[in-house]
């Protein structure tokens, strides 16, 4: 058997298949077993690179005379080149299969795809004519340099897609940027948050590879979120999808960063949490933060010069001890790399217990910053805080401190700043802290301290900065929204019990079932005894005395009286979103706003037409088409919906026709039921016909750069990438259920 001819034939076949894939790329549908092969692309691509390097060394570095002297012929070089050609073709095929998975930007992928394919073709042609090329040194040099250039381009573009823009030189540029930013010019997002995202998130969420539809390269795209919705929730940082994914167990498949990638350290998690908690501003400067703000504390160590850095005379606590103290509601982390000083932040007031504070006694020597803002801390816990002898900064804002036991802090001889904002401490309580020689700043905004008392203390202690701010007696906080813990959305045989919950004692939950927003006077009070037995939109809101009402949460409930025996798709769904075919529309499994969750089927190039069949006629009066609108993903309300029914499938009459209102607001992202009501009719067959919105007007497509004027330069490649041309100018229609009532 001639192994060389067989391998050459396989390489030719692989390149022919690669040509076929590229010619029909837009119509390529990759089944799951081939997706596995595609995902081996990052592993297999190392083979052609190594073999190509060996071949270049073979033909350009090792003298031919020495090869013949040791009995090695050109046969070895031929085998090396053929191996390069074969592995390059297989790698390119795997790459094409991988590129058909969602999450990749087509424009960023284009150069990587074609440079890899061209490399495969050129190397194979090189093998076919290698004897002729090897006799001419200029020709050999030209094909060698061309192949090497294509290899570098393909490799660089692949790294950009996988790891983010400028992956190779990013460490150099980052270090330079850090050196240039002084403390008084640092911006929280740009200089503290963005470096964390660049290092730990952009590998999967860049312009070339948008995993989950999420891109984090700009503030606008970060705020937009991905297929699972927004990733930032400034009303409650703990509810932010970004933080939820970070705090999942590392073995969880939804944990971010993925297992095997560099994980966030405690300081990085603290930066993200505190940035989101204080409003996720993209413009606020570090030096505008309060001195007791945790972000400012961290920043003072990140941007502080070595000459200004505070030195500590105590040993570090040990990484394992610090790691054990971290929980879902308490972050403990070193203030800076190599520093023995430790900071602690508490969050999740509903889950706070005094024992969590006592746990920190294990690092009482190393703890220099403690943030308890908005925690239900009482005067009794001050005796524990008083044992943290090296504490420099203490934030007790919005706690239940009355000042009765502030004398318990008299042993904190290194305390420099304390915040008692929105507590009930009085002038005589503040006097208990004046024995602390290093204390320089006290924050008593909206505390039980009058302006006259504060001014008197300022005159008596001129070295002490007492910040009173503006009076905020009428200020109130917005309470968190209630949690919807209802187990199901679809009512079939039995009603569903509505389950709402709030963790703050004394909170009243009010709700409506008619789609209106709840108010504090007329809306129904939730008492745990409400059952849903029809198709309604439930809205709920939390109210508590002294607090502003929460945001409204809502849930759509659906009724399914009759379940079809069969649903036949008379027109095919789009190959990207096929679900389980007609079964998807009758399995009573509602899809989410993540339209890639496998519970949706979609139509774009053709209309949806399906037939619902029942074993015997049912008396129906409405059909609900459960759909989704996500304008940013080009998913729109349909142009029209038609319902036809009867007992003879060849002679159905029109029961209802609906033209839903259009929605072109870019921020629109919601589930919507289109309820089609008609006079009661007996029907064994029901046909549902939905026409997608079709070709979109130019105003609804991503805008294109205007052609350059006569004296203007053409837009650069970078500028073109900012506004990619859409692959298809037709809108999507998504559907997950058809409910018959």
Q: Which two tokens stand for residue 494?
A: 């039995």
Higher pLDDT: 365 or 723? It is 365
147 exposure class (CB count in 10 Å sphere: 0-12, 13-18, 19+): buried
Q: Is 509 helix (H, G, I), strand (E, B) or coil?
A: strand
Nearest CA to 393 out of 266, 290, 288 is that of 290
Read off the pTM.
0.39
Q: Is 80 helix (H, G, I), strand (E, B) or coil?
A: helix
Identify the band that residue 721 occupies on the pLDDT scale cut at 50, 70 and 90. very low
∠ CA 618-622-628, nearest 5°, is 125
Residue 165 and residue 120 in contact, taking contact as beta carbons nearer than 8 Å: no
Q: Which two tokens stand for residue 2?
A: 């001639």
Positions of E strands within 347-436? 367-371, 393-395, 417-419
pLDDT at 707 over 60: no
Residue 201 and residue 209 in contact, taking contact as beta carbons nearer than 8 Å: no
CA distance 569 to 211: 30
Identify the band that residue 614 occupies on the pLDDT scale cut at 50, 70 and 90. very high
pLDDT at 717 over 80: no
The 8 Å CB, 24+ separation contacts for 315-319 are: 315/340, 315/365, 316/340, 316/366, 317/342, 317/362, 317/363, 317/365, 317/366
Residue 681 and residue 645 in contact, taking contact as beta carbons nearer than 8 Å: yes
Identify the band that residue 103 occupies on the pLDDT scale cut at 50, 70 and 90. low
Round the average pLDDT of the chain to a whole number and report it: 80
Percent of the chain with pLDDT over 90: 17
152 exposure class (CB count in 10 Å sphere: 0-12, 13-18, 19+): exposed
pLDDT at 519 over 60: yes
Q: Which two tokens stand for residue 722?
A: 């900012």
Quick one: pLDDT at residue 644? 94
Q: Look at the alpha carbons of 205, 210, 211, 213 in this order and tell me if their dihedral is positive or negative.
A: positive
CA distance 482 to 376: 19
Q: Which CATH class is domain 483-559?
A: mainly beta
**Was domain 566-699+727-740 assigned CATH 2.60.120.260?**
yes
Quick one: pLDDT at residue 245? 80
pLDDT at 484 over 80: yes
Q: Is 85 helix (H, G, I), strand (E, B) or coil?
A: helix
Residue 158 and residue 45 in contact, taking contact as beta carbons nearer than 8 Å: yes
Residue 371 and residue 294 in contact, taking contact as beta carbons nearer than 8 Å: yes
Least confident of 114-118, 186-190, 289-293: 289-293
Quick one: pLDDT at residue 337? 61
Provide the angle, in degrees to the nearest 10, between the axes of the packed helices 3-23 and 106-128: 150
Q: Which two tokens stand for residue 615?
A: 């074993």
Q: Look at the alpha carbons of 252, 258, 263, 266 in this order and tell me if their dihedral is positive or negative.
A: negative
pLDDT at 54 over 80: yes
CA distance 703 to 695: 15
Higher pLDDT: 109 or 218? It is 218
- The strand order across the sheet containing 536-543 reads 490-491, 553-559, 536-543, 508-512, 524-525
Q: What average pLDDT does the segment 126-136 reach?
A: 81
Residue 380 and residue 354 in contact, taking contact as beta carbons nearer than 8 Å: yes
Q: Is 724 helix (H, G, I), strand (E, B) or coil?
A: coil
The tens digit of pLDDT for each residue in 296-342 reads: 777 776 775 434 456 788 888 888 888 888 877 788 888 766 678 88
Least confident of 97-106, 163-172, 277-286, 401-410: 163-172
Per 3-state DSSP, the chain is made up of helix, strand and coil in percentages (nearest 5) of 35, 20, 45
CA distance 93 to 87: 10
Domain coordinates in residue numbering, the chain = 3-163, 289-473, 483-559, 566-699+727-740
CA distance 366 to 319: 12
CATH number of 289-473: 3.80.10.10
Residue the block writes with tokens 């090396």: 80
Residue 384 and residue 375 in contact, taking contact as beta carbons nearer than 8 Å: no
Q: What are phi and psi of 5, to 5 degrees?
A: -65, -35
Residue 268 and residue 257 in contact, taking contact as beta carbons nearer than 8 Å: no
Q: What DSSP assignment string belongs to 240-279?
A: -HHHHHHHS-TTSTT-SSPTTSPPP-HHHHHHHHHHHHTT
pLDDT at 711 over 60: no
Distances, alpha carbon 733 to alpha carbons 196, 233, 573, 584, 622, in Å: 37, 28, 10, 15, 21
Higher pLDDT: 9 or 655? It is 655
Residue 647 and residue 622 in contact, taking contact as beta carbons nearer than 8 Å: no
∠ CA 223-226-230, nearest 5°, is 45
Q: Which two tokens stand for residue 365?
A: 């020597």
Which range, 74-78, 356-360, 371-375, is most confident? 356-360
Same fold flag, 289-473 and 566-699+727-740: no
For residue 257, say if its preceding peptide bond is cis, omega within 30 degrees of 0.
yes
Distances, alpha carbon 199 to alpha carbons 72, 157, 216, 264, in Å: 48, 18, 12, 9
pLDDT at 725 over 70: no
Where is 96: in which H helix or E strand? helix 75-99
Q: β-strand 640-646 against 653-658: which pairing, if any?
A: antiparallel
Higher pLDDT: 661 or 158? It is 661
N-term to C-term CA, the chain: 69
Q: Which two tokens stand for residue 699?
A: 């105003």
CA distance 255 to 688: 40
Distances, alpha carbon 639 to alpha carbons 195, 207, 567, 687, 691, in Å: 45, 32, 22, 17, 5
pLDDT at 172 over 80: no
DSSP state of 589: -
CA distance 508 to 351: 19
Q: What are phi and psi of 239, to 5 degrees?
A: -90, -5
Quick one: pLDDT at residue 688? 95
Q: Which two tokens stand for residue 394?
A: 């203490």
Which range, 99-113, 484-498, 639-653, 719-733, is most confident? 639-653
CA 640 to chain centre: 34
Q: What are phi and psi of 611, to 5 degrees?
A: -115, 125
Quick one: pLDDT at residue 436? 87
Residue 148 and residue 251 in contact, taking contact as beta carbons nearer than 8 Å: no
CA distance 711 to 730: 35
The 8 Å CB, 24+ separation contacts for 139-145 are: 140/59, 144/56, 144/59, 144/60
Q: How would you label 471-481 residue by residue, b for 16+ Cβ within 10 Å and e otherwise? A: eeeeeeeebbb
Higher pLDDT: 247 or 491? It is 491
Q: How would you label 536-570 residue by residue, b for 16+ Cβ within 10 Å and e otherwise? A: bebbbbbbbeebebbebbbbbbbbbeeebeebebe
The tens digit of pLDDT for each residue in 422-478 reads: 888 888 888 888 888 888 888 887 777 777 787 788 777 777 777 775 444 434 567
Q: Is 438 helix (H, G, I), strand (E, B) or coil?
A: coil
The tens digit of pLDDT for each residue in 57-88 reads: 877 777 665 555 444 556 777 888 888 888 88
């Amino acid at each position: 058997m001639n192994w060389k001819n067989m391998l050459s034939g396989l390489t030719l076949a692989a390149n022919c298949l690669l040509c076929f894939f590229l010619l029909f790329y837009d119509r390529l549908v990759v089944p799951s077993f081939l997706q596995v092969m595609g995902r081996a692309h990052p592993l297999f691509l190392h083979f052609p690179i190594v073999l190509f390097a060996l071949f270049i060394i073979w033909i350009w570095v090792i003298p031919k005379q020495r090869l013949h002297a040791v009995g090695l012929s050109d046969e070895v070089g031929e085998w090396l080149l053929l191996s390069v050609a074969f592995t390059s073709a297989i790698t390119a095929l795997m790459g094409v299969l991988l590129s058909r998975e969602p999450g990749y930007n087509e424009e960023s992928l284009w150069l990587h795809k074609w440079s890899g394919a061209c490399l495969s073709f050129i190397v194979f042609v090189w093998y076919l004519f290698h004897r002729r090329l090897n006799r001419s040194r200029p020709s050999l040099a030209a094909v060698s340099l061309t192949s090497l250039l294509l290899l570098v381009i393909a490799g660089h573009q692949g790294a950009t897609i996988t790891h983010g823009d400028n992956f190779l030189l990013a460490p150099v540029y980052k270090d330079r940027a850090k050196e240039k930013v002084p403390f008084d010019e640092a911006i929280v997002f740009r200089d503290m948050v963005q470096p964390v995202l660049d290092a730990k998130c952009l590998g999967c969420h860049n312009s070339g590879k948008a995993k989950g539809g999420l891109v984090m390269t700009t503030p606008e795209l970060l705020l937009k979120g991905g297929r699972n919705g927004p990733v930032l929730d400034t009303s409650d940082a703990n509810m932010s999808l970004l933080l939820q994914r970070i705090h999942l167990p590392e073995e969880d498949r939804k944990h971010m960063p993925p297992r095997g990638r560099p994980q966030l350290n405690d300081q990085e998690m603290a930066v993200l949490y505190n940035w989101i908690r204080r409003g996720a501003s993209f413009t606020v400067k570090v030096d505008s933060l309060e001195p007791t703000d945790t972000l400012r504390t961290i920043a003072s160590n990140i941007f502080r010069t070595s000459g200004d850095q505070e030195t500590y005379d105590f040993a570090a606590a040990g990484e394992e001890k610090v790691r054990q103290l971290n929980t879902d509601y308490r972050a403990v982390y070193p203030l800076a790399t190599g520093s023995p000083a430790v900071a602690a932040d508490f969050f999740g007031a509903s889950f706070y217990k005094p024992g969590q504070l006592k746990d920190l006694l294990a690092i009482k020597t190393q703890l220099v910053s403690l943030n308890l803002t908005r925690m239900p801390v009482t005067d009794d816990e001050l005796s524990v805080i008083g044992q943290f002898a090296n504490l420099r900064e203490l934030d007790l804002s919005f706690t239940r401190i009355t000042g009765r036991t502030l004398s318990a802090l008299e042993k904190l001889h290194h305390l420099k700043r304390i915040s008692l904002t929105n507590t009930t401490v009085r002038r005589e309580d503040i006097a208990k802290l004046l024995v602390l020689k290093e204390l320089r700043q006290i924050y008593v905004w909206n505390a039980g301290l009058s302006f006259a008392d504060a001014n008197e203390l300022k005159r008596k202690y001129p070295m002490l900065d007492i910040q009173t701010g503006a009076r905020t007696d009428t200020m109130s906080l917005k309470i968190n929204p209630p949690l919807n813990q209802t187990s199901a959305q679809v009512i079939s045989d039995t009603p569903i019990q509505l389950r709402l919950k709030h963790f703050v004692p004394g909170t009243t939950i009010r709700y409506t079932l008619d789609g209106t927003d709840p108010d504090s006077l007329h809306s129904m009070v939730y008492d745990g005894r409400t059952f849903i037995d029809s198709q309604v939109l439930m809205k709920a809101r939390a109210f508590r005395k002294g607090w502003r009402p929460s945001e409204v949460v809502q849930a759509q409930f659906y009724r399914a009286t009759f379940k079809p025996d069969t649903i036949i798709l008379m027109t095919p769904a789009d190959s990207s979103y096929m679900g389980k075919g007609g079964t998807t529309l009758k399995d009573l499994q509602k899809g989410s706003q993540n339209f890639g969750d496998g519970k949706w089927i979609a139509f774009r190039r053709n209309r949806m037409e399906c037939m619902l069949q029942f074993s015997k006629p049912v008396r129906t009066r409405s059909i609900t088409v459960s759909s989704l609108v996500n304008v940013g993903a080009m998913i729109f309300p349909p142009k029209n919906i038609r319902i036809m029914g009867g007992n003879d499938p060849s002679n159905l009459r029109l029961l209802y026709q609906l033209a839903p209102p259009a929605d072109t607001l870019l921020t629109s992202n919601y589930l919507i039921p289109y309820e089609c009501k008609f006079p009661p009719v007996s029907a064994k067959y029901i046909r549902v016909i939905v026409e997608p919105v079709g070709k979109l007007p130019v105003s609804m497509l991503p805008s294109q750069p205007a052609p350059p004027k006569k004296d203007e330069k053409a837009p650069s490649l970078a500028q073109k990438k900012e506004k990619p041309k859409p692959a298809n100018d037709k809108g999507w229609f998504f559907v997950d259920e058809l409910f018959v009532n």
